[in-house]
């Protein structure tokens, strides 16, 4: 089979390859990376919840290149890459900040940021959605939640991009080296900021994490830096793509856009549908913690199993007419936020930001139109999103 997730064609539009995989090789072993790829909804949903699959431990005998040690040091304490009981402990420390009730309290703040950003372009009649709204909105929100000063937020996004890129399917060592350099300065910055919060606590998430660290037995210094950096990365990278991908999908389906403009009550189902239709996160992976027999395949201990979330979200066995954007879709248990114990902690926040962004855009700019038929995508597969999206209004 011609399957190459590293190819430019695949990154531009992976969905034809997904269709091929689901039909002909729903559990596909890609020898290049020694990965199993799952593309059907039922397989992904079942194995994402299977505790025989996890993140595993870094091989203590393996020594990373010197240029990548700062990256490994930071990522080894990311809860995203942890199994219980450490995962349970770390997730529990930040869970309360992301409950639907706590997130709903941010509605007015998110609305105010959205309006301020659109005020800056309202009279111009054109904008690049990514730089005008999709990027600064979630960055500002998560930075304010953590307590990162506004003047430093652009620098944080640059470091975040480098770290996110290191999670992609790539064999380019320079990407990992750049991510490691970002990890080093990110950690140094967070150490200084944490010390400030230790002396003068604020009403922010970093101060709360510092207070936990001071208890000694619950959060180490490196776990503090790792958790804070992961919250920043995960707290905005995916939402950038939700806003960008979702706006593009609506503009390419004018009948759906018109329906949404006529009936704002459809906004919640519309957000779920754009999440399904072109998922901001296309893939996640687990390691077999023991030998697993599944549908005639043997996943040996240590084998990597990749879940193609974008493919599962287009499975016709689960979704009627999956290639059609339908903002009224009711049976929409998509996998865009993953599943199992690693289900996205920030899902309520992403949904709220998407809802407010789309609602405000359509209200303030009802004549929104694409300024190009070929928008440019980022060179990233795992986090699928646009580099720019020029619009007129």
Q: Residue 185: CB partners within 8 Å, gap ≥ 6?
A: 159
Q: Are 266 and 145 in a shared domain?
A: yes
- Domain encompassing residue 185: 64-275+340-392
Q: Are 137 and 47 in a shared domain?
A: no
CATH of the domain at 86: 1.10.630.10
CA-CA distance, 174 to 166, in Å (whole number)? 10
Q: Are 17 and 102 in a shared domain?
A: no
Q: Which of 316, 335, 354 is the endpoint of a domain? A: 335
Q: Are 119 and 236 in a shared domain?
A: yes
Is residue 196 over pLDDT 90?
A: yes
pLDDT at 150: 86
The model's pLDDT over 313-361, given as tens digits with 9 standing for 90+, comes to 999 999 999 999 999 999 999 999 999 999 999 999 999 999 999 999 9
The model's pLDDT over 130-185, given as tens digits with 9 standing for 90+, comes to 999 999 999 999 999 999 988 888 888 899 999 999 988 888 899 999 999 999 99
CATH of the domain at 34: 3.30.43.20
Q: Are 145 and 53 in a shared domain?
A: no
Q: Are 195 and 266 in a shared domain?
A: yes
Q: Are 173 and 217 in a shared domain?
A: yes
Q: Are 185 and 58 in a shared domain?
A: no
Q: Which of 312, 335, 358 is the endpoint of a domain? A: 335
Q: Are 300 and 208 in a shared domain?
A: no
Q: Is 313 helix (H, G, I), strand (E, B) or coil?
A: coil
CA-CA distance, 33 to 42, in Å (whole number)? 24
CA-CA distance, 130 to 390, in Å (whole number)? 8
Average pLDDT for 112-121: 98
Is residue 275 over pLDDT 90?
A: yes
CA atoms lying within 13 Å on the CB side of residue 242: 29
H or E stretch at 168: none
pLDDT at 171: 82
Nearest to 82 by CA among 230, 212, 264: 230
CA-CA distance, 196 to 42, in Å (whole number)? 48
Q: Which long-range contacts (CB under 8 A, 24 or more apart) does 87-94 make?
A: 87/55, 87/341, 87/342, 88/341, 89/218, 90/219, 90/223, 90/227, 91/341, 91/345, 93/209, 93/212, 93/218, 93/219, 93/227, 94/205, 94/209, 94/227, 94/231, 94/345
CA-CA distance, 339 to 241, in Å (whole number)? 19
Q: Where are the beta strands (DSSP E) in 227-339?
A: 283-288, 292-294, 297-299, 304-308
Average pLDDT for 372-385: 92
Q: Are 100 and 146 in a shared domain?
A: yes
pLDDT at 63: 76
CA-CA distance, 42 to 57, in Å (whole number)? 27
CA–CA distances in Å: residue 175 to residues 162, 181, 191: 7, 10, 24
Q: Are 361 and 233 in a shared domain?
A: yes
Domain count, the chain: 2
Q: How far apart are the two ends of the chain, measured CA to CA in Å?
A: 44
Q: Are 236 and 140 in a shared domain?
A: yes
Nearest to 45 by CA among 326, 352, 273, 319: 319
Q: Which of 296, 314, 335 is the endpoint of a domain? A: 335
């Amino acid at each position: 089979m011609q399957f190459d997730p590293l190819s430019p064609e695949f990154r531009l539009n992976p969905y034809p390859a997904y269709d091929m995989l689901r039909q002909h090789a729903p559990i596909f072993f890609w020898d290049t990376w020694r990965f199993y790829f799952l593309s059907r909804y039922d397989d992904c949903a079942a194995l994402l919840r299977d505790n025989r699959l996890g993140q595993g431990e870094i091989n203590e005998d393996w020594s990373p290149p010197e240029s990548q040690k700062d990256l490994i040091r930071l990522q080894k304490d990311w809860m995203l890459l942890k199994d219980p009981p450490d995962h349970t402990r770390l997730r529990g420390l930040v869970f309360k900040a992301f409950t639907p009730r706590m997130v709903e309290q941010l509605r007015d703040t998110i609305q105010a940021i959205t309006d301020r950003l659109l005020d800056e372009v309202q009279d111009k009649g054109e904008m690049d959605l990514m730089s005008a709204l999709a990027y600064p909105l979630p960055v500002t929100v998560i930075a304010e939640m953590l307590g990162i000063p506004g003047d430093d937020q652009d620098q944080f996004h640059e470091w975040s991009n480098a770290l996110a890129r290191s999670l992609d399917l790539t064999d380019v060592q320079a990407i990992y080296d750049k991510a490691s350099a970002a990890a080093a300065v990110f950690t140094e910055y967070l150490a200084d900021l944490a010390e400030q919060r230790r002396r003068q606590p604020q009403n922010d998430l970093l101060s709360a994490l510092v207070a936990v660290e001071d208890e000694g037995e619950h959060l180490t210094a490196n776990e503090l830096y790792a958790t804070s950096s992961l919250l920043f990365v995960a707290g905005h990278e995916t939402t950038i793509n939700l806003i960008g991908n979702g706006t593009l999908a609506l503009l390419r389906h004018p009948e759906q856009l018109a329906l949404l403009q006529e009936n704002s009550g459809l906004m919640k189902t519309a957000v779920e549908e754009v999440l399904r239709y072109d998922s901001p996160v296309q893939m996640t992976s687990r390691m077999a913690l023991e030998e697993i027999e599944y549908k005639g395949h043997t996943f040996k201990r240590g084998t990597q199993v990749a879940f193609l979330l974008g493919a599962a979200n287009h499975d016709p066995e689960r979704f009627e007419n999956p290639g059609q954007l339908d903002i009224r879709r009711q049976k929409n248990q998509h996998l865009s936020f993953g599943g199992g114990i690693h289900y996205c902690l920030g899902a309520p926040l992403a949904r709220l930001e998407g809802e407010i962004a789309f609602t405000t855009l359509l209200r303030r700019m009802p004549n929104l139109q694409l300024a190009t038929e070929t928008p440019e995508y980022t060179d990233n597969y795992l986090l699928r999103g646009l580099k720019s999206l020029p619009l007129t209004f």
